[in-house]
Amino acid sequence: MAVRRRTSIPNQTAAQPNPEPGGDPQPPNAAPPADEFSLAPPKLGLILSVLALFLIPFFYLLFVHYQIESDLRYYISIGVALSLVGFWVTVWLIPVAARYLLRRNMFGYDINKRGTPRGEVKVPETLGIVTAIVFLVVAIVLQLFTLTADSDWLVEYNAALACICFMTLLGFVDDVLDVPWRVKLVLPFFASLPLMMAYAGHTSIIIPKPLVPYVGLSVLDLGLIYKLYMIMLVIFCTNSINIHAGLNGLEVGQTVVISFAVLIHNLMQIGASSDIDYKQAHAFSIYMMLPLLTTSLGLLAFNWYPSSVFVGDTYTYFAGMSLAVVGILGHFSETLLLFFLPQVLNFLYSCPQLFGFVHCPRHRLPRFDPQTGLLTGTKDMNLVNLFLRLFGRCTEKSLCIRLLIFQALSCLMCFGLRYILAGWYK
């Protein structure tokens, strides 16, 4: 979480020393000397360990556990290779982009380190823009290998990319202009319009088997109501990641955990199904989630505690939209919401403050003690403070790890529920 500090151009101009006779005057936005900027090296040891922890079960399911068609294995392997390239490009580009963002005074101070030397360091903001751009490039290039010109998925694939690109732009605008909350809530609606216009899938839902005798139907066509549900899902996914934040690595970490869970779910559904269209829907999700996972890990290498960059609303909107479109086009929105269980709980718990029934400060963060380095929970209504009140004071890193473990356990619970209820619920 950052508190933005920007210096106006007139003040910068006034602070410039008078040039010596015959010397060239310095422009008001002149960049600082190169040796004044130093970004902490990425935490590649930790991130590569996490990446290996993902790839081992992923490749086991892909090549050993399930009998998946050779062509689909080939396309998914290409997706893995391109996504790994995207990871390294992200790691390389972030220091470059951070330098330019600092030149434009887009930086912040870490509130959770206020009163310590780290709290006085200028941290570049909005580095989620790098992740989003690399993701879009990888996803577009991946089309060359996975889709043909007459593919039924081409229109919806491009509509999904248009939504993600649109949402990234709106997120960047939010970072620059500091858009009010009431406007933030509706931004995803406009970004979802390309998908709503291009969506040609079903608008029906399967009635749970225990309710069929009471409803009298096994399948119910919702029509336009289903598209309204899609819009609400997009709005929730984009904003829920944005409000479950405030710690180094939390926004990116929760996205990594959910992306991993979605990819495992996709492979399990492909391996267990014989329906071609169903497999293609989950393959589409894999093609989108692989670059999201790897580019997010590239960002996490700099955003993990202690963070040397901030991701900004650009990243949270981009990540939320990416997850929403795969849930919609992959037709597993119910499962996606189960993966989002911590975000759902955080949103429900935050509603009194978000809707103005209880006073809502600008930053609903814990209270930091610079003497001990520990965080103390406040009365603000979110999971970050709730965990501190329930489990006691701890460091920012420990709190983030606890919340990510809760996210992972929620995803595991989702898999368990699907296994227990399979064949009985639907």
In 55-198, beta strands by DSSP E: 107-110, 123-124
Cβ atoms of residues 331 and 285 within 8 Å = no
CB-count exposure of residue 330 (10 Å: 0-12, 13-18, 19+): buried
Give, as one character, the DSSP assignment of residue 191: H
Overall average pLDDT of the 75-80 stretch: 96
- The confidence score (pLDDT) of residue 236 equals 94
What's the rounded Cα separation, in Å, for the pair 50 and 252?
Answer: 13
pLDDT given for residue 13 in this prediction: 40
Mean residue pLDDT across the chain: 88
pLDDT over threshold 50, residue 305 = yes
pTM for this entry: 0.90
Q: How confident is the model at residue 273 (pLDDT cuts 50, 70, 90)?
A: confident
Q: Residue 120: phi, psi to the nearest 5?
A: -100, 0
DSSP 61: I
Residue by residue, DSSP assigns 305-372 as SSPSS--HHHHHHHHHHHHHHHHHHTT-HHHHHHHTHHHHHHHHHHHHHHTTSS---S---PEEETTT
Tell me the C-alpha to C-alpha distance, in Å, between residue 86 and each of 59, 75, 157, 289.
19, 16, 19, 12
Question: Residue 385 contacts by C-beta under 8 Å, 6 or more apart in sequence?
Answer: 364, 366, 377, 378, 379
- 6 or 56: which carries more pLDDT confidence? 56
How far is Cα 83 from Cα 288, in angstroms, rounded to an integer?
10
In which region does residue 32 sit, left (phi positive, over 0), alpha (psi from -120 to 50) or beta (all else)?
beta
Strands 219-221 and 367-369: unpaired
Q: Which residues, 6+ apart, have CB-to-CB distance to 143 below 8 Å? A: 154, 157
Q: Are 162 and 348 in contact (CB under 8 A)?
A: no
The predicted structure's pLDDT at residue 141: 95
What is the model's pLDDT at position 164?
96
